[in-house]
Amino acid sequence: MSHSYDHGGNIFTVARTLGVVPGQILDFSASINPLGMSSMVRKALVSSVDSLIHYPDTSHNDLKLALAKYHDLSPAHFTIANGSTELIYNLPALLPGKKAVIISPSFSEYVRALNQHHWEVQHFILTPESNFVIDIDKLELVLAGGVDALFICNPGNPNGTLYPQWIIEKICTLCQSSGTFLVLDEAFMDFCEEASAKWMIMQAENAVVLRSMTKFFGIPGLRLGYAISNASFAEQLDAIGGPWSVNTLALAAGTAALQDFKHNKESLEYVQLERSILLEGLEQFSQFKVYPSKANYLLVEIRGGMTSRELKEQLLPHHILIRDCASFTGLSEYFFRIAVRTGDENKRLLGCLGKILE
């Protein structure tokens, strides 16, 4: 039985449908660093090829040391995984209880993973009208009703909203007092690291931060992610996956990626600049409302005229792919998300949108 996973970045299927090679498609549906992977990562991959005759290092020692240095934390706080999605699928088995609340709209895999473990899932829906603001008093009432786990993505996906540290701190405190395990997904936090709640979470009793290495470091095809938590939870989380879920190439790439300060700094500056140019370009269209974002993507609402699905269909002949957001809980069929790509690619998108919207 095949599963249709509704995500951005489904470029192979789209290319087959259009009868082109994936390289001919401008993929705005997956939010990956527009500068791609660092040259240090490429070198590390090439030099690790000969190590493939051995099993991967199950201690993940080098990568944990590199992460410890990068985040200024002890290596004992990290759990390495085959993408943060693997952690999302392993967590429900570890967490006591069966009732979860997801702050939505959000990443669809939380629900899928919880369903596999027969959890009851509720959505705490943030509205576009409020600019996706979290009503803390309302959340407190929900948690008081007895919730075993709370899932929140910061910056929000697909909305790109960055919740300030004090809000996350408040949520963390609420969770502590209501006995709720907090799962804080910081998959896109590399684009605004100073807002991370890692320091607070690594000391908390029942909380974990999930991080992805595929977006900012530009290696989604390798699958690499990690968790930050207190040391004893990190150990439990590590033990739940089978051995060797993280391959040798991914470990080498991750270790190198963290050490290329120049590429990482350039990526940050590039995305900030291009995001603001793209935002301005999109706001030229009276049919669009663009939501402010601190990540490498923008959520756009179409005001009248067509649905996001229709817009997506009209962009495909131009070999441009956007992420239709109708499948996100809490969003209507008029929302779409676009990644921040290179300046030229963003211009091409704006040009095609201009033609379609005329």
Which H/E stretch holds residue 249? helix 248-259
The per-residue DSSP string of 251-308 comes to: HHHHHHHHH-HHHHHHHHHHHHHHHHHHHHHHHTSTTEEE---SSSEEEEEE-SS--H
- Give yes or no for a contact between 249 and 226, defined as CB atoms under 8 angstroms apart: no
Query: What residues contact residue 130 under an 8 Å CB cut-off, 6+ apart?
Result: none
Q: Write phi, then psi, for 212 (nearest 5 degrees).
A: -110, 145
- Cis before 96? omega within 30: no
Tens digits of per-residue pLDDT, 222-233? 999 999 999 999
Please report the pLDDT score of residue 9 as a whole number: 62
| Tens of each residue's pLDDT in the chain, 358 residues | 334 456 666 888 888 988 888 888 999 999 999 999 999 999 999 999 999 999 999 999 999 999 999 999 999 999 999 999 999 999 999 998 999 999 999 999 999 999 999 999 999 999 999 999 999 999 999 999 999 999 999 999 999 999 999 999 999 999 999 999 999 999 999 999 999 999 999 999 999 999 999 999 999 999 999 999 999 999 999 999 788 999 999 999 999 999 999 999 999 999 999 999 999 999 999 999 999 999 999 999 999 889 999 999 999 999 999 999 999 999 999 999 999 999 999 999 999 999 999 8
Q: What is the mean pLDDT of the chain?
A: 95
Please report the pLDDT score of residue 206 as a whole number: 95
Of 2, 66, 39, 104, residue with least CA distance to 329: 104
Domains of the chain and CATH, by start: 11-30+262-357 (3.90.1150.10), 39-260 (3.40.640.10)
Tens digits of per-residue pLDDT, 99-117? 999 999 999 999 999 999 9
Residue 321 CA to residue 302 CA, distance in Å, equals 16
Please report the pLDDT score of residue 103 as a whole number: 98
Backbone CA torsion sign across 45, 241, 101, 335: positive
- Quote the DSSP letter at residue 70: H
Query: What residues contact residue 322 under an 8 Å CB cut-off, 6+ apart?
Result: 28, 29, 308, 311, 312, 315, 336, 337, 338
- Rounded to two decimals, the pTM is 0.96
Query: What residues contact residue 291 under an 8 Å CB cut-off, 6+ apart?
Result: 128, 131, 132, 159, 160, 161, 298, 299, 300, 301
79, two tokens = 């759990």
Between helix 61-71 and helix 248-259 the angle, nearest 10°, is 20
Residue 89 CA to residue 84 CA, distance in Å, equals 9
Please report the pLDDT score of residue 4 as a whole number: 46
